[in-house]
Amino acid sequence: MKKTKGKKPQVFITELSEREKQLQEIDRIAKMLVRRDFELAETREKREKELQELKGKTKELEGSRTALMNMLDDVEEARKALTNILEDVEEARGKAEEEKEKTLAIITNFTDGLLVFDEKGSLSLINPSAEDFFDVKSRDIVGRSILELSTFPTLTSLAALFGEEIKGVFRKELPIKENLTLEVSTVPMVSGEEKLGTLVVLHDITREKMIEKMKTEFVSLAAHQLRTPLSAIKWTLRMLLDGDLGKITKEQNDFLEKTYRSNERMIVLINDLLDVTRIEEGRYLYKPVLTDIEPIVQFVTNSYEEEIEKKKIKFEFKKPEEKLPKIKLDVEKIRLAIDNLLDNAIRYTPTYGKIMVILKHRKGGIEFSVKDTGVGIPKDQQGRVFTKFFRGANVMRMATEGTGLGLFITKNIIEAHGGKIWFESEEGKGATFYFAIPIKEEFGEFLKEF
């Protein structure tokens, strides 16, 4: 028993430990498997997550791709639009080029001379007509200032007309040489607010001047020729009327009176025509003397006393409050000017009208005015009042006498005294004619010529 007892436990223990070992191993493996399983689960979860992320990214990429495609579409559209614009620009450029060529062709072939100055006052273009007028070549003068141009002998007078800064000139006559007179006008070239320069237009008026001269000479000659027989008629009629050639009947007297008045009108017309031709030829001589204007006005108004009374006109001569300074006047011519104005006022004012003559001291000069309550001058004709042979449509209907030369002569007389003349009028209400003469030693441009 002892032997069995002693041997059997030993085997049992060994077996047990062996089993235990196996169990432990199994347990270890089981644990390892559990852990691996756990790890696997974790990895799977991670992969799942990564997969989801990848899916998200793919979606995003898909979105970006679509956006990119859209952008590409937009870019393509923009490209097309740009191409269209470029085509339009090209077309516009072509048209502009064409227009430029046309303008250049017009400028080149224009019979008027043309000069273009840039905004700094340098010459930028001259056309062939202008080159001919001034006997210059474009290459010698383009790019030069007015001051530099004035050193060219043929351009001196033009440069003097402009001054250094090209002042505005409108229809100024410029004699260039024996057989060439130009009419010069400047046109400012502006684009919106911007000043681009000045265009100078030179129109050849040599022919017009020649015709004008011939016409003046003809009128002058005819008027001179007519004056002598008219004077002879006047004195013969006077003798008949005065009974120097025998007694005449009342009827004969009436007829002769009418003829005498008609002849007088003809003499007035001839004298007016002669005055006009003298003005036009620059021969309207002035003899200025330092004198008082008031007695001259008084003299003229006195000479109309009878006429004023006959027409029952309320007349007033408003004299200056203080004595006016003496001024240089050509007495005869100023008398004629005042006479013309007063004569018109009386003639174009119906009976019972009012006329007021005012003489006053004003702004370094003397101002004369004659205001009437007559027929006035129609608005649409007022711009022509001082031109030769102008007669208002309203006065023509009245069948009053007149030559239409009085105001032209008067204007020339006043301007030759360095003064100016103007008027205000409303048809049917009356008219006021004014003139002002400055008190100065020198006379106007016209007078200095003599």
Non-local (6+) Cβ contacts of 164 within 8 A are: 121, 146, 147
* The one among 431, 436, 437, 447 contacting ligand ADP by CB under 6 A: 431
Residues 91-120 touching ligand ADP, rule: CB under 6 A, are none
CB nearer ligand ADP, residue 294 or residue 427: 427
CB nearer ligand ADP, residue 142 or residue 268: 268
- CB of residue 433 vs ligand ADP: minimum separation in angstroms? 6
- The pairing of strands 314-318 and 354-362 is parallel
- Please choose, out of 63-71, 90-98, 307-315, 401-409, the segment that lies near ligand ADP by the rule CB under 6 A: 401-409
Q: Which residues, listed in sequence order, are joined to residue 421 by a DSSP beta bridge?
A: 435
Cα–Cα distances in Å, from 442 out to 93, 298, 368? 59, 26, 20
d(CA 65, CA 446): 90
CB nearer ligand ADP, residue 357 or residue 407: 407
CB nearer ligand ADP, residue 328 or residue 411: 411
Between vectors from CA 337 to CA 333 and to CA 341, what angle results, nearest 5°?
Answer: 165
**Residue 413 in contact with ligand ADP, rule: CB under 6 A:** no
From residue 374 to residue 393, what is the string marking binding to ligand ADP with x (rule CB under 6 A)? xxxx-------x----xxx-
Starting at the earlier edge strand, list the strands of the sheet with 172-177: 123-126, 113-118, 194-204, 180-191, 172-177
Residues 317-376 touching ligand ADP, rule: CB under 6 A, are 340, 344-345, 348, 372, 374-376
Number of residues that bind ligand ADP (CB under 6 A): 22
**Residue 129 in contact with ligand ADP, rule: CB under 6 A:** no
Non-local (6+) Cβ contacts of 343 within 8 A are: 304, 406
Kindly write down the DSSP assignment for every residue of 359-404, as one continuous string: EEEETTEEEEEEEE-S----GGGGGGTTSTT---HHHHHTT----S
In degrees and rounded to multiples of 5, residue 449 shows phi and psi of: -65, -20
* The one among 353, 404, 418, 419 contacting ligand ADP by CB under 6 A: 404
Residue 119 DSSP symbol: T
CB nearer ligand ADP, residue 409 or residue 447: 409
CB 162 within 8 A of CB 82: no
Among positive and negative, which fits the CA dihedral 438, 441, 447, 449?
Answer: negative
CB nearer ligand ADP, residue 376 or residue 444: 376
- CB of residue 378 vs ligand ADP: minimum separation in angstroms? 9
- CB of residue 113 vs ligand ADP: minimum separation in angstroms? 36
CB nearer ligand ADP, residue 107 or residue 385: 385
Sites of contact with ligand ADP (CB under 6 A): 340, 344-345, 348, 372, 374-377, 385, 390-392, 395, 402-408, 431
